[in-house]
Chain A
Amino acid sequence: NAGVTQTPKFRVLKTGQSMTLLCAQDMNHEYMYWYRQDPGMGLRLIHYSVGEGTTAKGEVPDGYNVSRLKKQNFLLGLESAAPSQTSVYFCASSSGGSSGSYGGEQFFGPGTRLTVL
Chain B
Amino acid sequence: AQSVSQHNHHVILSEAASLELGCNYSYGGTVNLFWYVQYPGQHLQLLLKYFSGDPLVKGIKGFEAEFIKSKFSFNLRKPSVQWSDTAEYFCALGSKSARQLTFGSGTQLTVLP
Closest to A110 in B: B43
Closest-CB distance, B46 to chain A (whole angstroms): 6
Which of A42, A44, A101, A108 interacts with B99 by CB under 8 Å?
Answer: A101
Q: Nearest residue in B to A44 (C-beta to C-beta)?
A: B103
Residue of A nearest to B105 (CB): A42
The answer to whether B100 touches A33, judged by C-beta atoms less than 8 angstroms apart, is: yes
Q: Tell me the complex Cα distance, A111–B43, Å.
A: 6
Contacts of B32 in A (CB 8 A): 99, 102-104
A40/B105 in contact, CB under 8 A: yes
Q: A43–B111 Cα gap in the complex (Å)?
A: 23
Main secondary structure of the interface of B (DSSP, over half): strand
Question: Does B96 sit within 8 A of A, measured CB to CB?
Answer: yes
For A3, the closest partner residue in chain B by CB is B43
A-B contact count (CB 8 A): 61
* Contact residues in B for A110 (Cβ distance below 8 Å): 42-43
Let me know if A82 is at the binding interface, CB within 8 A.
no
Q: Nearest chain A CB to B105's CB is how many angstroms away?
A: 4
Question: Which A-chain residue is minimally distant from B51 (CB atoms)?
Answer: A99
Q: Bound state CA distance, A74 and B48, in angstroms?
A: 26
- List residues of A (44-77) whose CB comes within 8 Å of B's CBs: 44-45, 48, 50, 56, 58
- Interface segment among B12-20, B68-76, B87-95: the answer is B87-95
Confirm or deny: A2 has a beta carbon within 8 angstroms of a beta carbon on chain B: no
Residues on B with C-beta less than 8 A from A45 are 100
- At the interface, yes or no: B67 with Cβ under 8 Å from chain A? no
A109 touches which one: B43, B94, B98 (CB < 8 A)?
A: B43
- Asked whether A48 and B99 contact (CB < 8 A) given A99-B51, A103-B93, the answer is yes
